[in-house]
Structure 1
Amino acid sequence: MTTKLTLSVEQSIIEKAKIYAKQTGRSLSEIIQNYLEQLVDESEVNEIPTDLNKLIGVIKLPKNFDEKNELQDYFESKHL
């Protein structure tokens, strides 16, 4: 089921969006709907599971901790 939505957007953005929609053969409604679906999907993916969320803050790391460097050191020591 679709529902009407009224938005306030800068005129220049609307003009550019209409050109983009025409070039891609889609409607503005379709483009905006796809964008909103993508936002919702990303936020659902980014939600931290409750069990994992309980662990946040349990381990205290030094302020200068460099996880990339630590990971590299780990792999180097593992494969030497």
Structure 2
Amino acid sequence: MTTKLTLTVEKATIESAKSYAKQTGRSLSEVVEKYLKTITANDNPPVPSKLQSTVGAVKLPDNFDEYAVLREYFDNKH
């Protein structure tokens, strides 16, 4: 079930977010919903404060499995 949500956000931030959503082929609602799910998921470890500024800097596909890539890296390393 979806519910309408009203937010107050700086205009420049909204414009940037709309541009990001368009570039990634998603709606702004989808972007916000995914972000909220990500930050409220219990299975995601907290991001260390030193890395906070890098969050969101890299755009990966929705189906990207970082754990599989990491496993492959270590398997091939030795």
TM-score (norm 1): 0.52
Map of 1:39 onto structure 2: 39
Shift of 1:45: 3.5
Partners of 1:45 and 1:30 lie apart in 2 by 20
Alignment identity in percent? 61
Gaps spanning 5+ residues in structure 1: where? 47-80
* CA RMSD, Structure 1 to Structure 2 (Å): 1.7
Map of 2:29 onto structure 1: 29
Partners of 2:5 and 2:11 lie apart in 1 by 17
Q: 1:10-69, CA deviations, whole angstroms, 9 ceiling, x for partnerless residues? A: 00000011111111100000000000000111xx237xxxxxxxxxxxxxxxxxxxxxxx
TM-score (norm 2): 0.53
Partners of 2:3 and 2:40 lie apart in 1 by 17
Map of 1:20 onto structure 2: 20
Instruction: State which structure, 1 or 2, has the greater radius of gyration over its C-alpha atoms.
Output: 1
Give matches, 1:43-54, under 5 Å.
44-45=42-43
